[in-house]
Each structure stands twice: as structure tokens, then as C-alpha cells.
Amino acid sequence: MKISPATHTLTMSFEVFPPKTDTAFAPVRQAALEIAGLSPRFVSVTYGAGGNGSRYTFALCREIEEGAGVPTLAHLTCVGQTKQSISASLTSLKEAGIDSIMALRGDLPEGMTGPQGDFPHAVDLIRFIRETNPEFTIGGACYPEIHPESPDRRGDLKYLKEKVDAGCDFLTTQMFFDNALYFHFLYRIREIGIHVPVFPGIMPITSVRQIERAVTLSHSFMPTRFKRLVDHFGSNGEAMKQAGIAYAVDQIIDLYASGIEHVHVYTMNKPDVAAEICRRLSGILGSMA
């Protein structure tokens, strides 16, 4: 996956996650192929959960590329990893024909008090990939608000600049629910010399349970407008689903109207949600043709 120049049209990418077990692979594969069938610019596959590391991540990437013909972005985490193990993963990726990586530190396993291994932070992984395998396209993560572990915003931006200087080709943001946060973030990073593409990450919230998890994991700010939506529709499952999709579409339209031409959607492996977002966007943007 190479970062192409601006096209003055809206493009999208979707994120899916791999299964935790062999028995769950078939339904996840089916969902991922349905999502890939919506013709995204690429599909991002998160790092394997449940202690399976990269096994299912790389396998799902292969299925998407071969089964749907859509480029993939394989997540690769470095916490607790060695240079030898990362080198082996890079070799596996190349052998599978995957040329793009989302380089992340990863969550600390339970009981681990600090980063261990040869790569304490994502910047160390990015630098290693760029120095040893320069042919890869490398993505990095960023937080429009602030990384939960950062002591202050200035330090957070300084670290982000280090990641970009180490070799990031683009950045993808953590989910956010107020577009103003994204635009303020863009202004701040451009001021300090970060000029790579920054793809906004949008998560359609379709259930109250999902909201609770999203807030816990990302510490994302929930604007009053969004809280009112949840208060009004949260007790009705189908209504909350449709309202959450509508909110995400509204965010995407606002981003596009403000000059943002690529949006990354966290699908939670829900083809119907991804398809409905595409359908509503097509109806809006198609009427402009």
C-alpha cells in the first residue's frame, strides 16, 4: 500500500480484527471479506489477540489480499519483542506479499510494569523497520486528544514528531467524536513540522456497551451532542445502531467538507454497519456528481 496523492474524492479504509481461535477464523474471514468487498482503499488488520501474536493477523491479511484483491495494512506490536522475533515477522510479511505495517508498541501484558524487550517504544520499532526493511510503508498511531500515558500534551507531540522522523509514512488517529479535536490537533502538529498524511479514525458507536468500552480504552471526549443521542436512543438497540451510524456519517461528511479526503473507520468486524455507512455516504456524495 503506497500513499497516493490527493484525488479530491473521498476514500475510506476499514479496520478489522483477527479471531482468537482457529474455530473462529471462518466467520471472521467472511466478515472481513464482506467489508473488503466495499472497495476500501485498504483494510487494516489489528494484531492477534489472545496470545496468538501475528499468526491470525498475517493469515487474515493474506485472505483479504487474495480473496478480495484489496491492499492490507498489518498491525505489528513490539512490546516484549526481540530484534530476532521482529525480523522473523517482517520476513513472514514479505513472503506473504504484504508491504505495509502499522507499527505499534502494543498494550502491556498483565503483570508487566513497563516496556521490555529490544523495543521499549513504537519509535524503536519504526526505526528498526526503516533501517532494515526500507521497502515497507509504515504507519503510526496518534491521539488527537492526548495519549493516556503521556504526562502532558507537549511531551506527547514531541514523541509523535520522533516517530515521524524515524520513518512513519502516515499517521492514523485514535477514535474521536468531536471533529474540532482533530482539526486542532492537525494545526498543532503542522506547527512543529509534522507533514505526513493524518487519517482521522472514526468509530460508529452502535450500542451502549460499545460506548463504555470505547471510553475505557481510548479516554475519548464525549461531546454533549453525542451524550444526548445516547440518552435518547441507548435503550433501544436498533435505534441506537442507526443513530450511531448517522453520527459517524455526519462526522465523515464534515471532515470531507473541510478538505479531508481519506477517513479510517473502525468497523468492529460489522459488515452491515460498514455497508450502511458507505450507502449513506454514496447517497450524499453521489448527488453532488
Q: Would you name the residues annotated as active-site residues?
A: 15
Nearest to 102 by CA among 125, 119, 83, 79: 125
Distance CA 118, CA 48 (A): 20
Nearest to 42 by CA among 69, 24, 8: 69
First to last CA, the chain: 28
Beta bridge partners of 142: 173
Could you tell me the three cell numbers for 226? 453525542
| DSSP element (H, E) containing 202 | strand 198-202
Q: Grid coordinates 455516504 are at which residue?
A: 281
Contact predicate 64/98, CB 8 Å: no
Contact predicate 139/103, CB 8 Å: yes
| DSSP element (H, E) containing 101 | strand 100-104
Distance CA 13, CA 15 (A): 7
**How many CA atoms lie within 13 Å of 274's alpha carbon, on the beta-carbon side?**
25
Contact predicate 191/154, CB 8 Å: no
In sign, the C-alpha dihedral spanning 131, 134, 139, 142 is positive
